[in-house]
Structure 1
Amino acid sequence: MGVALGFSVGPLRAGQGRLPLLVEATEPDTSLLAVFEELKALVDEHLLRDGGILFRGFTLAGAEQFREFAASFGHPLLNYEFGSTPRSSVTQGVYTSTEYPAHQSIPLHNEQAYSRDWPMRIWFYSMLAAQSGGETPIADSREVYKRIPAYIRERFVSKGLMYVRNFGNGLDVAWEQVFNTEDRTVVEAYCNAHGIVCEWKDDGELRTRQTCQAVARHPRTGEMVWFNQAHLFHISNLQPEVRETLLDIVEEEDLPRNVYYGDGSAIEDQVLNEIRAVLDECMVSFPWQSGDVLMLDNMLAAHARAPFEGKRKVIVAMAEGFSADQL
């Protein structure tokens, strides 16, 4: 697409689609912050079309400058509320990426699409690329929507999805960590405000249920996107031996997480397998380079994580909270 002031703009891989757009420094020691105004204009022009932008070859001095870069787009950075995976705070509004063991994959998903509130924008900063693996694959959620078989799309839209979570008990993230409090009344107030049904079980642990969207219309582009985490929350996402072990320990209703159709009926394994096949078809993967920053429109682009070897450090920021009630 050409060369601008200190950087070039073009597809990451010629002939392989527009996600992500590559913006690469053309001069050594070009700071992301130093050319922010030019980059912001480029983001305003391209993010809603391309869904994601990879900034490569720029300098960025650690987590604080990453926080400054993400916050400079004009929206306060969000806290990681009602999170589904373990993360640690790095600095205000900046978190580690999901702290799962290196050998595990994380399937493609849009951040917090299992709830009715989510960030519109998300940034990833590769502070240290893994020795091998550790990619953050992405996919165009518009394309996923188009490729999902019509009968599945229609069923998901008509029924909606109900996510069930059981916190703690050594099987999943503790509710105190998820809600950043040890006060039950604070948890109840949050749930009431966000359309989440919460229940305190006899053992003192928490169960929540929330009925959410399966697809959504992007508020700015008007395009339909596949926007849920059914394939990730469903018990069929677990390895068979893990699934069997869990069901030996707890009843289905006490699984750390699961998902049903909105009326409480079971989602068929075959349906989820078809969804996973579409996601695999749409996946775009590229190796991280240390210093890379990836910016996604969280509704237009899903992201994942590949297994890795060696040390890896990717941190994350999110902004521009949005609610399904605004659609």
Structure 2
Amino acid sequence: MAAILVTAYRCGRSRNVQTVWSRISHKVHNNQPSTSFGTEVNLVETHVDWASRAKLHPARIRGRKWLPGSASPNYPEFLKPPKDGYPYVFTPDDNTTASPEGCAVAVRKVVHEVLEKNKNGAVLFRGLPLQTAEDFSRVVNNMGLKLMRYEGGGAVRSEIAKDVNTASDEPPEFCIEPHNELVYTSHYPEKVIFFCLDPPSPGAGGETVIADVREILPRLDKDVVDKFEKLGVIYWHHLPSHTPGAYNSWQKAFLTEDRAAVERHMTANGTSWRWEDGNLSWWITLPSMFKYRGQKLWFCGPVNHASHFKAHPLWFDKDLPDHHFPFTTYYGDGTDIKAEVLQHIRDVLWQVSMGFQMQKGDLLVLNNMYCQHARLGFTGKRKLAVALAKQDQDCPEDY
């Protein structure tokens, strides 16, 4: 493996890889009960030639069916491949057979160094001896993180292991837009962790998309930013009771059949709501900017808008008012967000986005404050799992 330089984000210094390895390469002595015979995990930074892979199977963005806003001439024609260091990639330096618990300790050390200390947005682990949702669950439950339930989320997901859900149960042809996880709530996670259970076939789509949040704000029109900063965003959700069709029910979204439990959750998280014939509408007004580690970030999701459903295979032909779609957005004063403003934001999000097809066993850790994520539509197989973690207070010096 060729030595490379690891560069801290947005600073003028770099450190030789040997110095970094002394801090983040980590041997794990596995004392956990396991059927595996290996005892060590030694993770090293690895170079991936993303550009060459993208040339073999370019992923079209502009004009793509089931991608909201893709008719815009300002969309890139093709999805860009990742750049060096975004994400950082780490692999075992040998054929380890360590248990998931053993892998977790090594992964946690790298995450602490790369995402927390160096303030990067994404790190990918490839080649770990992990296969199943249960393996993934054992990893995330032994990383020392404060895992959280997907309570009140708008995505269609299913629980498949302890603290682990499917990443999305949306129709495979649909493209999920770049977004910060649970940005429309006051209880968003700091870390989003994906695991590839079943990879897409080469050329079949399904690219996992990431976008550096710190590249978004400088590209947005100043007048657009100023208005959002002044007014904020209202996030509106409409959830029927158990209903067949494309809706996500409030029972599934809030993981309960108890209306009182839903109301307690709403109260605790500063959310307004109303019940109508057993159906739930809820809304919250949030700022468009968020100060994180001393830096102001664009941390909002105006494109969580009813227009999203006009390019959705289950919703495109539905004649509904905006507030009767599963979700929509407004300015904080209740006025509509103009279509050209939403398109401008979508243009910028895709201009800064990069993507790649995940491989079987890939584990991708994102800092949700610094990195948005998305998915391109696909044909054939593809299945990812996801786990969410709250802000890590084990490293108070970083905040």
**Which residue does the alignment assign to 2:381?**
311
Matches within 5 A, 1:118-157: 118-131=188-201, 132-157=204-229
Query: Larger RCO: Structure 1 or Structure 2 (Cα < 8 Å, ≥ 6 residues apart)?
Result: 1
Confirm whether residue 236 of structure 1 aligns to residue 311 of structure 2: no
**Between the two proteins, what is the percent identity of the paired residues?**
31
3-state SS of 2:192 partner: strand
Which of 120, 131, 145 is residue 75 of structure 1 equivalent to? Answer: 145
Matches within 5 A, 1:1-327: 1=4, 2=17, 4=25, 6-10=42-46, 12-13=48-49, 16-29=83-96, 31=98, 33-48=101-116, 49-131=119-201, 132-168=204-240, 170-201=245-276, 203-218=277-292, 221-231=293-303, 233-239=304-310, 245-246=317-318, 248=319, 250-320=320-390
Q: TM-score, normalization: structure 2?
A: 0.74
Alpha carbons 2:232, 2:331 under 8 Å: kept: yes
Change (3 A) 1:241 1:99: closer
3-state SS of 1:311 partner: coil
Alpha carbons 1:142, 1:223 under 8 Å: kept: no
**Which residue does the alignment assign to 2:39?**
none
Give per-residue Cα distances to partners, 1:42-93, cap 9 Å, x unaligned.
2212114321100011111422221222222312321110010111111121
Change (3 A) 1:244 1:307: closer
Larger deviation: 160-169 or 273-282?
160-169
Aligned residue type for 2:87: P
Deviation at 1:213, TM superposition (A): 2.4
Give per-residue Cα distances to partners, 1:244-278, cap 9 Å, x unaligned.
743x3x33332321100011001111111111111
Change (3 A) 1:240 1:102: closer
Question: What's the RMSD between the two structures over aligned residues?
Answer: 2.3
Aligned residue type for 2:273: C
Cα distance in 2, alignment partners of residues 180 and 38 from structure 1:
32
Number of aligned residue pairs: 317
3-state SS of 2:188 partner: strand
Unaligned runs of 5+ residues in structure 2 are 5-16, 27-41, 51-81, 393-398
Give per-residue Cα distances to partners, 1:104-141, cap 9 Å, x unaligned.
10001111001111111111000110122212100111
Alpha carbons 1:12, 1:20 under 8 Å: kept: no
Deviation at 1:17, TM superposition (A): 4.7
- Structure showing the higher strand proportion among its residues: 1
Alpha carbons 1:127, 1:313 under 8 Å: kept: yes
Unaligned runs of 5+ residues in structure 1 are none
Aligned residue type for 2:338: E
